[in-house]
């Protein structure tokens, strides 16, 4: 028996009767010995033979296996026989009526076929016949010293017996009927409770299965989102998204559409089914059409669930004849629709509100990952452009800078001296290390070992030279920036001083004279001329 299985308590009347008659037979077998021993001395030979015979029959049905009905009828017959024998011998003066009432009571308890009523009527008829026979002298009681019988004696005896028998039969039958009704009510109540328990267990099992399904969906959603978030390319991200959703949620077709900038055309970018993969790259115009799920979702930006049992709203796609349930949901980021997720299932009513919540969360994560990858690619492109511009600007700046400065210096035992363009800078067996800044070479470092030493350069020496070259590049750039900043500061200061001198007077001639004087000083000019008014035309002259 299972641990949670409950046994319904039942009352089996047949089983109870079998157990009851076994107990009665055992008690009668024990008491029968006592009764026979007590009456054996005073009983006649006929009574002795009768009592012993009945007792042997009693022991037989008590100890030997026998059918219930046989035991019941034999028991009733023996008790009735004892009662009838007592009345034949003593009439109303002995305990014959007690045995007859006992037989009637046992019949009411052990049998249902009106045996108790029949036995009661038979007993009343028997007593009436006995009274008639004894009062008219037809039959004489066999027991010695029996008091004289009269009609009132027999009448009272028979009426008392009838009243007691009717009460016993009526009460017993009413008790049996009421008890049967109570038992049926109890069993009905217990059955109803058992049905309710089974219903609750079924609901608990359904709820447990639903929770397990939901947990499985959440685990699948989490692992899918993690796998999608690891993608660094848009095409890889979309293909991985449709493949994982189809595989882990067991949907036979999953597709992702990406919207164009005006949100009027959707392009199929990824699909999990072979049919869908053949359609990748196709465009679908988004128009207001209630019969097209993509158009409805693009317009409402809400998840749409349809199935083939809903003929009014379900539209069968000729490309996917196996579809029996379909869910279309938006891909949105920060309130902007960027695409549509289209899911097909070959099972009826495969989607519900809980599925929509889980998959919508996954769709949102997919949209966010898509937008992050897009922004990352745009940032990378922008950085590449900036690096290219920086590299080009660095090349131009240093080309101009080196044109105004000595471009090379050489260390010799005599000291450091500048090199000029006409000098041959090629050295044999030397190490040439470029000086790179922002990916551009702005110079070179040439190293030559002393005579008498090995001309081979080790990897460690090369690495050290390259690191020194990097530091030299940074130092040169810092020096150039400092020099440029100082020149800008001086230029700004000169402009400020010039403005101060010019604004010291409001006289036009004084302003012009001051401006000419300051210009000559600033640029160290031979002459500085300022003219007010239009220049004279040579033709007019």
> What is the DSSP track for 338-387?
EEEEEEEESSTT---HHHHHHHHHHHHHHHHHHHHHHHHHHHHHHHHHHH
Q: Would 399 be classed as within a structural domain?
A: no
Q: Would 232 be classed as within a structural domain?
A: no
Which residues in 234-294 belong to E strands, given as ranges? 253-259, 265-271, 283-285
Q: Would 409 be classed as within a structural domain?
A: yes
Q: Give yes or no for residue 163 having a pLDDT over 90.
A: yes
Residue that the structure tokens 């077709």 belong to: 253
pLDDT digits (tens, 9 = 90+) for 377-398: 888 888 777 777 777 777 677 7
Q: What is the pLDDT of residue 540?
A: 46
| Run of H or E including 107 | helix 96-110
Q: Are residues 250 and 360 in the same domain?
A: yes
Per-residue pLDDT, averaged over 21-35, amounts to 88
Phi, psi of 335 (to 5 degrees): 80, 0
CATH classification at residue 310: 3.30.450.40
Q: Are residues 98 and 23 in the same domain?
A: yes
Q: What is the pLDDT of residue 209?
A: 78
Q: Half-sphere exposure of 427 toward its Cβ, with a 13 Å CA cutoff?
A: 15
Phi, psi of 139 (to 5 degrees): -130, 140
Per-residue pLDDT, averaged over 439-467, amounts to 76
Range of the domain at 466: 405-497
Q: Give yes or no for residue 412 having a pLDDT over 70.
A: no
Phi, psi of 409 (to 5 degrees): -135, 150
Structure tokens at 382: 């922008």
Lowest-confidence segment of 23-32, 157-166, 499-508 by average pLDDT: 499-508
pLDDT digits (tens, 9 = 90+) for 135-144: 888 888 887 7
Q: Are residues 375 and 431 in the same domain?
A: no
Lowest-confidence segment of 218-222, 269-273, 326-330 by average pLDDT: 218-222
Q: Are residues 315 and 349 in the same domain?
A: yes
> What is the DSSP track for 72-85?
HHHHHHHHHHHHHH
Lowest-confidence segment of 201-210, 228-237, 357-366 by average pLDDT: 228-237
Q: Are residues 23 and 140 in the same domain?
A: yes
pLDDT digits (tens, 9 = 90+) for 217-254: 677 677 776 767 677 788 888 888 888 888 888 888 99
Burial class (CB in 10 A: 0-12, 13-18, 19+), 243: middle
| Run of H or E including 284 | strand 283-285
pLDDT digits (tens, 9 = 90+) for 72-130: 999 999 999 989 988 988 888 888 889 999 999 999 888 877 888 999 999 999 999 99
Q: What is the pLDDT of residue 422?
A: 46
Residue that the structure tokens 């249902």 belong to: 112
Per-residue pLDDT, averaged over 479-504, amounts to 75
Q: Would 212 be classed as within a structural domain?
A: no
Confidence band for 454, pLDDT divided at 50, 70 and 90: low
| Cα-only R_g, the chain | 60
Q: Are residues 344 and 417 in the same domain?
A: no
Provide the domain count of the chain: 3
Q: Are residues 251 and 306 in the same domain?
A: yes
Q: Are residues 328 and 190 in the same domain?
A: no
pLDDT digits (tens, 9 = 90+) for 280-326: 888 777 776 667 888 888 888 888 888 888 777 787 888 888 888 88
Q: Would 78 be classed as within a structural domain?
A: yes
Contact 263, 337 (CB under 8 A): yes
Boundary residue ending a domain (194, 210, 230): 194
Cα-based torsion angle of the residue sequence 360, 361, 365, 371 in order, rounded to the nearest 10 degrees:
50
Residues 6+ apart with CB under 8 A from 539: none
Q: Are residues 359 and 416 in the same domain?
A: no
Residue 67 or residue 377, greater confidence:
67
Q: What is the pLDDT of residue 401?
A: 67
Q: Are residues 335 and 473 in the same domain?
A: no
Q: Alpha-carbon distance 329 to 457, whole Å? A: 65
Cα-based torsion angle of the residue sequence 512, 518, 522, 523 in order, rounded to the nearest 10 degrees:
40
Q: Alpha-carbon distance 70 to 111, whole Å? A: 12
Does the reported pTM lie above 0.85? Answer: no
Q: Give yes or no for residue 200 having a pLDDT over 80.
A: yes
Q: Would 415 be classed as within a structural domain?
A: yes
Q: Alpha-carbon distance 266 to 296, whole Å? A: 13
Q: Are residues 161 and 286 in the same domain?
A: no
Q: Would 478 be classed as within a structural domain?
A: yes
> Which residues sit opposite 268 in a β-bridge?
257
Q: Are residues 161 and 18 in the same domain?
A: yes
| Run of H or E including 331 | strand 325-333
Structure tokens at 462: 């090369």
Q: Would 218 be classed as within a structural domain?
A: no
Q: Give yes or no for residue 541 having a pLDDT over 60.
A: no
User: DSSP class of residue 148?
Assistant: P
Q: Give yes or no for residue 3 having a pLDDT over 50.
A: no
Q: What is the pLDDT of residue 495?
A: 76
Per-residue pLDDT, averaged over 329-353, amounts to 86
Q: Give yes or no for residue 519 having a pLDDT over 90.
A: no
């Amino acid at each position: 028996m299972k641990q949670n299985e409950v046994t319904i308590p039942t009352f089996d009347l047949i089983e109870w009767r079998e157990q009851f008659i076994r107990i009665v037979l055992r008690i009668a077998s024990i008491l029968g010995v006592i009764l026979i021993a007590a009456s054996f001395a005073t009983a006649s030979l006929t009574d002795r033979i009768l009592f012993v015979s009945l007792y042997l029959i009693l022991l037989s049905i008590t100890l030997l296996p026998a059918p219930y009905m046989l035991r019941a009828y034999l028991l009733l017959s023996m008790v009735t026989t004892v009662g009838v024998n007592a009345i034949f011998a003593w009439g109303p003066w002995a305990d014959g009526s007690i045995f007859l009432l006992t037989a009637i009571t046992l019949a009411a308890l052990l049998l249902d076929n009106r045996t108790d009523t029949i036995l009661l009527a038979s007993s009343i008829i028997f007593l009436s016949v006995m009274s008639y026979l004894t009062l008219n002298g037809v039959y004489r009681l066999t027991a010695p010293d029996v008091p004289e019988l009269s009609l009132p004696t027999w009448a009272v005896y028979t009426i008392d017996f009838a009243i007691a028998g009717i009460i016993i039969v009526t009460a017993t039958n009413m008790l049996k009927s009421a008890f049967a009704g109570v038992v049926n009510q109890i069993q009905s109540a217990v059955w109803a409770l058992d049905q309710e328990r089974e219903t609750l267990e079924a609901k608990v099992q359904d709820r447990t299965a639903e929770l397990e399904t939901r947990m499985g969906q959440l685990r699948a959603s989490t692992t899918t989102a993690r796998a999608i978030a690891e993608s660094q390319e848009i095409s890889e991200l979309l293909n991985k998204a449709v493949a994982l959703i189809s595989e882990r949620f067991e949907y036979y077709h999953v597709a992702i559409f990406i919207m164009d900038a005006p949100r009027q055309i959707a392009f199929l970018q990824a699909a999990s089914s072979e049919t869908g993969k053949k359609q990748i790259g196709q465009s679908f115009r988004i128009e207001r059409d209630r019969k097209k799920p993509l158009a409805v979702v693009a317009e409402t930006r809400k998840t749409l669930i349809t199935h083939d049992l809903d003929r009014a709203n379900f539209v069968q796609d000729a490309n996917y004849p196996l579809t029996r349930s379909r869910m279309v949901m938006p891909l949105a980021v920060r309130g902007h629709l960027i695409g549509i997720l289209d899911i097909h299932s070959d099972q009826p009513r495969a989607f519900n509100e809980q599925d929509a919540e889980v998959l919508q969360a996954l769709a949102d994560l997919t949209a966010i990952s898509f937008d992050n990858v897009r922004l990352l690619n745009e940032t990378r492109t922008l950085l590449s452009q900036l690096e290219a511009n920086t590299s080009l600007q660095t090349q131009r700046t240093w080309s101009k800078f080196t044109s105004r400065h000595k471009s090379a210096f050489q260390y010799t035992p005599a000291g450091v001296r500048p090199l000029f363009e006409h000098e041959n800078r090629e050295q044999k067996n030397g190490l040439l290390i470029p000086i790179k800044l922002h990916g551009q070479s702005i110079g070179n470092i040439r190293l030559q070992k002393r005579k008498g030493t090995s001309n081979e350069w080790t990897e460690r020496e090369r690495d050290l030279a390259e690191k020194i070259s990097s530091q030299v590049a940074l130092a040169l750039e810092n020096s150039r920036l400092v020099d440029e900043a100082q020149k800008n500061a001086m230029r700004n200061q000169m402009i400020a001083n010039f403005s101060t001198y010019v604004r010291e007077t409001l006289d036009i001639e004084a302003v012009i004279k001051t401006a000419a004087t300051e210009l000559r000083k600033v640029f160290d000019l031979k002459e500085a001329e300022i003219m007010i008014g239009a220049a004279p035309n040579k033709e007019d002259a």
